[in-house]
A = this chain, B = another copy of it.
């Protein structure tokens, strides 16, 4: 299905991230040198981009710049900002992708503005009613043919009041993404609930459980519980954006909390204190290793065009990874695979 030779253009909204446009420009520039088929379309302030390009190597035949005079800052309210700034980089970039000048979009800017710009410019895949933001997170178990110590969880914030319909399409979308990106030909998919029994949970979850059992081509393993999230019982965990966001943010706080709790409980005991000191750089490294930005960022699934949200703190390497993941999804026709998955006869 995939043609690794076909040239694929990825648009990069280079503005509005924590470390400034130069990191995004550097990441995209590296892709034009390292990968044979990726073209980069940099969207943002032309002067700023020119300045950044003057300080990095790139393949000029596979890099283009599209000027956007303004951008949405991290702290701005998404809808108001997009209203006031019709030429904001994320909006311009999404429109360029929608009209076919590029095939996917990467940004490290304001998440809400990204989601909104995509929703306004892209079309939903037939069969999908609402989009989902997905992310990988660290697990005990390993997954896929690359033995990634990560599972995918969706939705983590795009659709806070998902219906049973939405949950079913999230499951199909997450499985398609895991299949393509994690080289996991038959990913296990579970529904997050307050018990493993099929009848557990609010009505939307109970109904989704029923319907997922009969989606062909999907390896649905039923409900999992909160404890199964860190364990990594399933390759793909499906929930509404409200629950998913709470879980994701709890996971982000775990490192900090365990260290603090350990300090609190055992400040009296020298042996434990020494153990903690020896481990502290280890804990730092856990945080680093489990940081999802290295794994290409968080895709918004459900639109005809792929958007990948890199973390606001992304450096050039994370941006290059996001671009590679986007290109891989495009060359493997992610949107088409999702559409087929949703149309599959029961």
A residues at B contact (CB < 8 Å): 138, 140, 149, 157, 160-161, 192-195, 201-203, 205, 225-231, 239-243, 245-258, 260-262, 264-266, 269, 271-272, 274-279, 281-283, 285-286, 289-290
Contact = CB atoms under 8 A, between A and B. Distances in A.
Given A254-B254, A261-B140, A192 B246 contact: yes
Contact of A257 (B157, B202, B231, B262): B231
Main secondary structure of the interface of A (DSSP, over half): helix
Contacts of A274: 275, 278
A166 to B, nearest CB: 12
B194 A157 contact: yes
A226 to B, nearest CB: 3
A240 B202 CA distance: 10
Contacts of A242: 193-194, 201-202, 205, 243
B194 A241 contact: yes
15 contacts: A140-B257, A161-B202, A194-B241, A195-B245, A227-B250, A229-B250, A243-B243, A246-B247, A247-B247, A254-B257, A265-B285, A272-B278, A274-B278, A275-B279, A276-B282
B231 A253 contact: yes
Nearest to A197: B77
A265 B286 contact: yes
B226 A249 contact: yes
